[in-house]
Amino acid sequence: MNKLALIILLISLKYISLAQNIIIKGHAKTFENKELGLWIYNDYISNTEKQLSFSTIDSAGNFIIELNSTKIQYVTLKIENQIAAMHIEPFASYEILLSPADSTSYQNQNLEQDLKISIKLKSKIEINALTMDYDKHFDDFLSVDYRSFVSRSAQTKIDSFKIAMKSYYATVQNNYFEAYLTYTIAALEEKTQESKKKLFESYLENKPILYYHPEYNNFFNTFYKQKLQSISLTKQSSGIVHQINDRQNLKETLLLMKIDPYLQNDTICELVLIKGLYESYYDGTFNRGSIIAMLDHIIMESNIAENREIAQNILNSFSKLNVGAAAPIFELPDIKGYLHSLNKLRTKKYVYLMFFDVSCSACMQQMKVLPSLKKQYGTQIEFVSVSLDLSKGDFKNFCINNPKFDWLFLHDNAAAQMRKKYEIKSLPAYFLINPLGNFMQVPAESPVGDIDRIFYDITKPKWKKHNIGSKKNN
């Protein structure tokens, strides 16, 4: 009997551990039948995201999201381009209300907008209750003592506030919240030009690296902003450029970086190198191929799992939407329901891909230029416009009402998957894809920009070309 009871207990514990330990229930008025996604950052250096869970809001506006988590996390709720944020913690349940943003607050409705979120708080020590209560104190402090931040009295005021807050929350036993309080104040001190030495000693030296805490990383990223680039320009560390660009030598690069007094910790030094390589990929300080090689070395050689993961996330972000990378494949219906795939569209032609919706005035204006471009280059370039409108009826009506737009129109009918695949942040958005299925321009020039010259360059005989097609991406 005792053995049988033990077996039953072990099986029960197994299924308990597999159960979803966080539940978010709520109502999202005006978002009926739309997808609600729950996202987190993979890390706070690359700022790449991953979706933890999702739910479809029902016809009454209700939803439920279930997921697992072993730690407190800062998450983002997304409905199309509208977002809200909250904290979640293990074995907690939440009741929330989501409301659309005030449309008059945003001139461009295609950019990300804030959802209004209301959380039913069940306890004063729940993490959302603590952070919201503290945020109110913080905002009140800034509004009352605003003038002190442009005078020499700022640090005294901040010190007093810090002491008051530590005392006020003295009974709270929550490491995440303690770091939240500490590093919001650290960020404030950094903005008031507090000495780097004092900031380092107070908040970074001999302190744990909080890889998954947004406030810690906000301070860390500001403190070490462009650090690799700046020390590579010093006389003592001028060899960094050679070690990265010419030798791709991880060990020697880290040794040269350690001349800086704020990089004596091995893990921090390596993390700052990763951060600097990521920044340099876009500012041109170092050769892009060498940056990729250095990140590969870190992934293979680093002893720090979190650093390896961040380096991998950065590499993944490079390979997604970049010139030469494979364009995300798709198969979408036209107005009659016939499916068209990227693989077939690009077989013999370049593909000029545009994303739009019928409410985007800039999209409508730029489309007026496309007929003349299609007439001139349509034999060698496939013009494709993808509607991101949720309503199939809106898409069909647009096509019927605009017969002069005689190129291929498709509809994203798969829960906004194209918006995710092509990382669409605003409309219109353009991409140029070559017959191999790889990006030639990301983003591509618009019809009212330089795309005419680029089309000319890629469609004329080889002896007439003059290398103007890639100017945007060099």
Tokens standing for 13?
């514990």
CA–CA separation, 472 vs 426, rounded Å?
A: 19
Q: Does 58 score more than 90 pLDDT?
A: yes
The band of 173, judged by pLDDT with boundaries at 50, 70 and 90, is very high
Beta strands in 57-128 (DSSP E): 62-67, 73-79, 82-88, 93-99, 113-114, 116-119
How crowded is residue 47: how many other Cβ atoms within 10 Å of its Cβ?
A: 14
Q: Residue 305 has which token pair?
A: 């799992």
DSSP 445: P
Asked if residue 285 has pLDDT above 50, the reply is yes
38 three-class SS: strand
The three-state secondary structure class of 427 is coil
Tell me what pLDDT residue 4 has: 57
Q: Which two tokens stand for residue 465?
A: 């070309």
Q: Which two tokens stand for residue 283?
A: 């500012």
Whether omega before 428 lies within 30 degrees of 0, making that bond cis, reads: yes
Q: How far apart are the first and last CA of the chain?
A: 74
Return the amino acid letter for 411.
Answer: H
72, two tokens: 């407190």
Whether 115 contacts 99, CB under 8 Å: yes
Q: In 10 A of CB 359, how many CB atoms?
A: 12
Which residues have a Cβ under 8 Å from the Cβ of 376 and sit 6 or more positions away?
455
Question: What's the confidence (pLDDT) of residue 366?
Answer: 92
Which has more confidence, 1 or 51?
Answer: 51
Count how many Cα atoms sit within 13 Å of the Cα of residue 389 in the half-sphere of its side chain: 21
Q: What's the pLDDT band for 457 if we cut at 50, 70, 90? A: confident
State the Cα angle at 82 between 118 and 392, rounded to 5°.
Answer: 125
Average the pLDDT over each of 11-25, 180-194, 425-439, 458-472 and give the range with the smallest value.
458-472
Domain 2-120, classified CATH 3.40.1670.10, yes or no: no
Q: Indicate the average pLDDT of the chain.
A: 88
| pLDDT digit string, tens, across residues 349-376 | 999 999 999 988 889 999 999 999 999 9
- pTM for the model stands at 0.70
DSSP sequence for 375-403: HHHTTTEEEEEEE--S-HHHHHHHHHH-T
Widest Cα–Cα separation across the chain: 88
| Ranges of each domain in the chain | 2-120, 130-223, 227-320, 331-473
DSSP labels for 252-311? Answer: HHHHHHTTSGGG-SHHHHHHHHHHHHHHHHHH-SS-HHHHHHHHHHHHHH-S-HHHHHHH
Alpha-carbon span 291 to 243, nearest angstrom: 11
Separation between Cα atoms, residue 67 and residue 41, nearest integer Å: 16
Asked if pLDDT for residue 325 goes beyond 70, the answer is yes
Q: What is the reported pLDDT for 424? A: 84
Element (H, E) at 25: strand 22-28
Residue 95 β-bridge partners:
25
DSSP string for residues in 204-232:
TTT----TT-HHHHHHHHHHTTTHHHHHH
Q: Are 149 and 192 contacting, i.e. CB atoms less than 8 angstroms apart?
A: yes
Fold exhibited by the domain 331-473: Glutaredoxin (3.40.30)
Between 234 and 223, name the one with better pLDDT: 223
In this structure, the chain runs to a length of: 474
- 345: nearest Cα among 309, 305, 317, 386: 386
pLDDT of 474 reads 35
User: Of 447, 338, 352, 445, which is closest to residue 399 (Cα–Cα)?
Assistant: 338
Residue 117 has pLDDT above 90, yes or no: yes
Give the confidence band of 110 by pLDDT, cuts at 50, 70, 90: low
Count the Cβ atoms, other than its own, within 10 Å of residue 90. 12
Whole-angstrom Cα Rg for the chain = 26
Alpha-carbon torsion (460, 462, 465, 471), positive or negative: positive
